[in-house]
Amino acid sequence: MGEVTCDTGTRTIRISVLDRILMFLLLTAAVESALYFADFWFLGGHRKNLWLFPILSYAVFRSIGRNVVSWFIFQFTTIPKPGPARPDATVDVLMTAMPGEPFAMFETSLKAIAAIRHPHQAYLLDGGNDPALRDICARLGINHIDCRGIQGAKAGKINHCLRNHAKGEFVLILDPDHIAEPDFLDRTLPCFTSGDIAFVQVVQAYHNVKKSWVAHGAAEQTFGFYGPLMMGLGGLGVPVAIGANCTFRRKALDDIGGHAESLAEDANTSLRMHAKGWKSVYLPYRASYGLVPEDLRSFYHQQLKWAAGMFRLFLGDYLRNIPRFGLAARLNYFFSGGHYLVGFATMLTMVLPILFLFGRIFAVEMSFTEFAWHIAPYLFFSTWMSLYVQRWYSDDSEKGFPWRSMFLEKGTWFIYFLAFAYTLAGKKVLYLPTPKTADKGGTAYLALPHVIVIVLSAAAVAYAWLTYPRIDDGTRLMAVFAVLNIVSLLPVTWICLRDYLPFRDRGAEA
């Protein structure tokens, strides 16, 4: 197995034999470091409360377990070898539109569709039958489809077009904010090297990363996913579809009854295809550039929809299809379906120190020095692994320590927990497009959960220091956890409240 390369559109990435050897060595060391910490935590005689210890352990080890799974997936990173060009393949390009979305965005994205070099039929599926959109479609030679009254949100419009208009062998689905590269289909179609490949997914890149701190942090959360993680899933044959820029085989869509109509319609569509035995390919190429949410309200709106969608997918289609999956797909959708439980785990890490310090009850008894000494190897190798796999990021600008995404994920805990609670309660979350322009409305109310945690954490630490007759190791450890929680919530709290603070620097946007 020699070196394989891929032009991502902005740089060339490589996977060599040396990379695979070093990745295996890193995996071995990283797993060993996680086991070293687990041995200290579980077998070091630190447990004080039989009932609270498992809860605290879940909160502590949830992210460690997620990282270990990612490390194993990284071992399978691959770059697909494309087949010959397919100039005769018939392709339909579909894009949806909803009332209220900015016309200027469609001017750009529709012109990009018209400029795609491979012969294709393009369709704009317009939920508002906008006259301006009809006009621009007519000028560009794009079919305008009136989709007023079509149920099923985005997927419903796509299925309506598939049933009544689009007849091509392949279907490229693009979100309206995505600006396609002219060679989009020239790069993806050759990757359909066998008749059992259902779709080819590409990188989801963004052209507004630098617009705000939130946009930068939200984009950072995707860099690893669209780099080594999806490349690893590609090596396992089960990369998932991302509805913003995915090329499907029409026969595969027909085989599952069309595009899945759900909150997580793209993941749900790929799940059903994999359950039917179809395969998928991931091509690490920046074939289009879209928008990432620029403000916190839009980001929270997007994350609530995604999280609720994945929880429903897990409890619905995943459980029904477990016997039909291969091992790789079974594990992939199991971990994907539970990804947003990070909100529940994060909630526990914030609530438990407060309860322990106010209630004078502790799940563990260990010094912070001992704790830090035993977790340090894991932190070292985890960081090394995350930095090493950045060689497979699709653009050099994505490299670096993702501190914004870490703070943003921490600050989204209550949204993920809300999605989890909504799912358990059977409460419906509406499918609404993610806003394509920055929301200038007030966001102070979004800071309330964070402010409550910050105030209670500070009060709990002060209470312990002022009233405890003796400060033992368990108290110090929980106080450190509480202080870390305060620090980790401050950036997102600042984003929520800065417009209401008199000393805000109006030029600071980081």
- Residue 139 placed within a domain: no
- Residue 397 placed within a domain: yes
- Residue 151 placed within a domain: no
Q: Which residues of 59-89 are buried (b: 16+ CB within 10 A; e: fewer)?
A: bbbbebebbbbbbebbebbbbbebeeebeeb
- For residue 18, count CB atoms less than 10 angstroms from its CB and return exposed for 0-12, middle for 13-18, buried for 19 or more: exposed
Please report which residue ranges of 389-447 form alpha helices under DSSP H. Answer: 403-410, 413-425
Token pair recorded at residue 243: 């509805």
Residue 506 pLDDT class (50, 70, 90 cuts): very low
| pLDDT, tens digit, 9 for 90 and up, residues 275-314 | 999 999 999 999 999 999 999 999 999 999 999 999 999 9
**pLDDT value for 430:** 74
- Residue 132 placed within a domain: no
Contact in structure between 192 and 249 (CB atoms under 8 Å): yes
Residue 441 pLDDT class (50, 70, 90 cuts): low
DSSP H or E run through 353: helix 342-359
- Residue 5 placed within a domain: no
Residue 2 pLDDT class (50, 70, 90 cuts): confident
pLDDT (mean) for 63-85: 96
**pLDDT value for 79:** 97
Contact in structure between 105 and 436 (CB atoms under 8 Å): yes
- Residue 130 placed within a domain: no
Question: How many domains are contained in the chain?
Answer: 1
Separation CA 76–CA 355 (nearest Å): 42
- Residue 387 placed within a domain: yes
**Residue 165 scores a pLDDT above 70:** yes
**pLDDT value for 470:** 85
> Which residues, 6+ apart, have CB-to-CB distance to 136 below 8 Å?
106, 107, 110, 142
Q: With pLDDT > 70 as the criterion, what percentage of the chain qualifies?
A: 96
Residue 435 pLDDT class (50, 70, 90 cuts): low
**Residue 371 scores a pLDDT above 90:** yes
Domain extent at residue 427: 18-77+216-274+299-510
Classified as helix, coil or strand, 364 is strand
Q: How many C-beta atoms surround the C-beta of residue 416 within 10 A?
A: 27
- Residue 142 placed within a domain: no
pLDDT (mean) for 234-240: 96
**pLDDT value for 313:** 95
**pLDDT value for 49:** 87
